[in-house]
Amino acid sequence: MKLEHIGIAVKDLEAANELYALLIGKKHYKIETVESEQVNTSFFKTGSSKIELLEATGPKSAIARHIEKRGEGIHHIAFEVKDIYAEMERLRKEGFRLLNEKPKRGADNKLVCFVHPKSANSVLVELCQRIVE
Ligand code: ZN
C-alpha cells in the first residue's frame, strides 16, 4: 500500500489553504465539496503523496465532531489500494473493524473505506482506490 494522503481537520479552509501554501511552497491544486460527508476539502501535492485539508460544512459532519472533541489536527491517513473490495475482505478476515460495509465515493475521484481507529492504534485509516472512468 502506498501512503496516498494525510487528512487534516481544519476550522477555516481558506485560512488553512493560505497557511499550507506557505508551508509547502505551492498552492492547493483542487477544492472539492463532498455533500454526503458534509465537508469541503482541498488538496496539495507533496511529492508522491498529498495533504487533504478538511473543513466541516455542517454540524453532523465527522470533521465537526472531530474538531469539537480534539480540536484541529491530523484526522486520518490514507493508503491507496488497487482493489478496495479485496483489501476490505482481507482486513475483515484479519479481524480489523471497518466503518463501511461497502466502499463509498469520496473526494478526489476515489472509492473509500475507513478502518476503525480502535483497530489501528487510535489512527483512523482510509483505504482509497482511484475510480477509472
Ligand atoms: Zn482522505
Q: Of 83, 84, 18, 91, which is closest to residue 53 (Cα–Cα)?
A: 18
Q: Ligand 1 centroid vs 94 CA: distance in angstroms?
A: 23
Q: Write down how long the chain is.
A: 133
Mean pLDDT of successive 10-residue stretches along the chain, which has 133 residues:
96 98 97 94 96 96 95 97 97 97 93 96 97 85
Q: Ligand 1 centroid vs 76 CA: distance in angstroms?
A: 7
Q: Ligand 1 centroid vs 13 CA: distance in angstroms?
A: 15
**Quick one: how far is CA 28 from the chain centroid?**
15
Question: Which residues are CB-contacts of 87 (< 8 A; sequence separation ≥ 6)?
Answer: 1, 81, 127
- As given in the structure block, the three cell numbers for residue 98 are 471497518
Predicted confidence at residue 132, as pLDDT, reads 86
pTM: 0.94
- As given in the structure block, the three cell numbers for residue 119 are 483497530
Predicted confidence at residue 21, as pLDDT, reads 98
* Rg, Å, the chain Cα set: 14
